[in-house]
Amino acid sequence: MKSYDRLFIGGEWVEPSSTNVIEVVSPMTEEVVATVPEAMEADVDRAVEAAKRAFDEGPWPRMTPAERGAVLAKVSDAVRNEMGDVAELISGEMGSPVSWATMAQVLAPTMIFDYYAGLGSTFAFDEFKDGLLGPVLVTKEPVGVVAAITPWNVPLFLAASKLSPALLSGSTVVFKPSPETPLDANRLAELFADAGLPPGVLSVVPAGREVGEHLVNHPDVNKVSFTGSTAAGKKIGAACGAQLKRFSLELGGKSAAVLLDDVNLDEALPLLMPNAIMNNGEACISQTRILAPRDRYSEVVEALVEQVKLMKVGDALDPETVVGPLVAERQRDRVESYIRIGQEEGAKVAVGGGRPAGLDKGWYVEPTIFVDVDNSMRIAQEEIFGPVLAVIPYDSDADAVRIANDSSYGLCGSVYTADDDRGLGIARQVRTGTYMVNSGIPIDFSSPFGGYKESGVGREFGVDGLELFLEKKTVNLPAGYTPKP
């Protein structure tokens, strides 16, 4: 994999301010596969200064939205042209199974770039209307300098979900990827430069938490767009609140999939399972609590166990792999500690629970199903972020809704039933930002996505995702004013 010795700041690859490097370690071999410079506070300061200059002096905010959209479309094409390489790059960085990565970590980002590229020609940034007292223009202007901060689990997807609307708005961006996944971020910087993005509009500062805090607190950052843990989101929200800085947060989840008593498991499980253990279980929207009717509990468990046994665990770069290694040793420690906690709490392991045989190198954990789980247990309340599911019995539809809502999170959820409208009735009662009724599609890029409760603040995707990066201005116009065509 390609190493870097410079940082992308202000449109150029510049000398970093320090000699610190980030080592990218393969989750399969546990060996260092590339290095990149670690951005320091001084590098962040340079990046923010460049972003502020590019915002204040242009041309980016003054170009038409369609022109900005055209740059996004070029980047989308470029990513699509090297889809296989990018998927392997991401799988190599963080262990996402390459078949899944091709679809969700590469194709999906191109759909996001394309969607916002299209909005550049269709979204009404200006609305002239008759106000109560006279003609009015409501115009939507870019928020300014944006700090985009992402975790490692779906790195390019999250970069696309923040950079596309932020850049389309005319804002300029300092992007801080996670230290586990700096390589795809640097590749994206190269593709943006090739696509003709003006200098300063995007900088990439791979770094850890402390440098992230410096970026969040920087007085010239106007808006923070954060995806990551709820713990970090609370700190960032507090820091932004203290400065009355705009912020949006996409945080953790502990979503419940409800199997209603009329469910056909042969139809439901192929839709549910890819969302229950997706991306090695390292996904905010994973359906990690599975709610089963008490009188069909053993049948459901049996079917789930069968599905899990079919999942091939192994090298993320093998196209047959369904579950790859976890991102890092500390993540495997975390997941294994939750497996111990579950057992101490009285839940039973129905399948998995250990390390897969024959994989001596790499941070692998067997896909694991816990049964006899009570929703008050820590394995049902806390985000494990690994391939671990909890199957929880319920007694009635109302009980299923109660259990689904008995969570500090509210990101996603799903219901499977022979009756779509009964499912929709459940969807309306569960307090989450996204829901699936007899569907395997958790996110629609043209529609809002985000969290209730501790899963976040604000909505990404769709027009809502663009509005996160816009300020509204009302201009009162003189009587009789007519806008020029």
Residues forming the active site: 250, 284
Tell me the site size for ligand NAD, rule CB under 6 A: 29
Single residue of 53, 80, 209, 296 touching ligand NAD by CB under 6 A = 209
- Interaction with ligand NAD in 437-456: which residues (CB under 6 A)? 451, 456
Q: Of 87 and 303, which CB lies nearer to ligand NAD in the complex structure?
A: 87
Choices 31-39, 248-256, 301-309, 475-483; region in contact with ligand NAD by CB under 6 A: 248-256
Q: What's the closest the beta carbon of residue 229 comes to ligand NAD, in angstroms?
A: 3
Q: What's the closest the beta carbon of residue 73 comes to ligand NAD, in angstroms?
A: 24
Burial code of 107-118, b = ≥16 C-beta within 10 A, e = fewer? bbbbebbbbbbb
- Measured CA to CA, the distance from residue 1 to residue 33 in angstroms comes to 6
CB atoms within 10 A of CB 10: 18
Alpha-helical segments (H) within 244-395: 265-276, 297-309, 329-345, 378-381
- Interaction with ligand NAD in 104-143: which residues (CB under 6 A)? none
Q: Of 102 and 178, which CB lies nearer to ligand NAD in the complex structure?
A: 178
Q: 461 burial class (0-12, 13-18, 19+ CB within 10 angstroms)?
A: buried
Beta strand pairing call for 368-371 and 388-394: parallel
Single residue of 47, 156, 168, 251 touching ligand NAD by CB under 6 A = 251
Residues 6+ apart with CB under 8 A from 22: 35, 36, 37, 38, 179, 182, 206, 207
Q: What's the closest the beta carbon of residue 424 comes to ligand NAD, in angstroms?
A: 23
> In the numeric block, which tokens belong to residue 251?
């945080």
Give Cα separations from 338 to 190, 276, 342, 384, 411 (angstroms): 40, 17, 6, 7, 21
Element of type H or E holding 430: none
- Is residue 228 involved in binding ligand NAD (CB under 6 A)? yes
- Interaction with ligand NAD in 282-301: which residues (CB under 6 A)? 284
Q: How far apart are the first and last CA of the chain?
A: 52
Nearest by Cα to 43 from 60, 21, 75: 21
Q: Of 102 and 150, which CB lies nearer to ligand NAD in the complex structure?
A: 150
Q: What's the closest the beta carbon of residue 483 comes to ligand NAD, in angstroms?
A: 38
Q: What's the closest the beta carbon of residue 94 comes to ligand NAD, in angstroms?
A: 10
- Measured CA to CA, the distance from residue 380 to residue 453 in angstroms comes to 16
- Measured CA to CA, the distance from residue 411 to residue 255 in angstroms comes to 7
- Is residue 383 involved in binding ligand NAD (CB under 6 A)? yes
Choices 50-58, 62-70, 118-126, 204-212; region in contact with ligand NAD by CB under 6 A: 204-212
Compose the 177-196 pattern: x for residues touching ligand NAD by CB under 6 A, - for all others.
Answer: -x------------------
Single residue of 34, 86, 104, 149 touching ligand NAD by CB under 6 A = 149
Single residue of 313, 388, 411, 466 touching ligand NAD by CB under 6 A = 411
CB atoms within 10 A of CB 456: 27
Q: What's the closest the beta carbon of residue 321 comes to ligand NAD, in angstroms?
A: 21
- Is residue 278 involved in binding ligand NAD (CB under 6 A)? no
Choices 17-25, 232-240, 287-295, 296-304; region in contact with ligand NAD by CB under 6 A: 232-240
What is the DSSP annotation of 439-473?
Answer: -S----TTS-B--EETTEES-BSHHHHHHTTEEEE
- Measured CA to CA, the distance from residue 160 to residue 86 in angstroms comes to 14
Single residue of 41, 77, 190, 213 touching ligand NAD by CB under 6 A = 213
Q: What's the closest the beta carbon of residue 68 comes to ligand NAD, in angstroms?
A: 24
Q: Of 256 and 300, which CB lies nearer to ligand NAD in the complex structure?
A: 256
- Is residue 229 involved in binding ligand NAD (CB under 6 A)? yes
- Is residue 275 involved in binding ligand NAD (CB under 6 A)? no
Nearest by Cα to 72 from 120, 134, 5: 120
> In the numeric block, which tokens belong to residue 414?
């799903």
- Is residue 253 involved in binding ligand NAD (CB under 6 A)? yes
Single residue of 4, 113, 152, 461 touching ligand NAD by CB under 6 A = 152
Looking at residue 373, its amino acid is V
Chain position whose Cβ is nearest to ligand NAD = 212
Nearest by Cα to 28 from 356, 474, 345: 356
- Interaction with ligand NAD in 36-55: which residues (CB under 6 A)? none
Q: Of 82 and 213, which CB lies nearer to ligand NAD in the complex structure?
A: 213
Give residues in contact with ligand NAD (CB under 6 A).
Answer: 149-154, 176, 178, 208-209, 212-213, 216, 227-229, 232, 235-236, 250-253, 284, 383, 385, 411, 451, 456
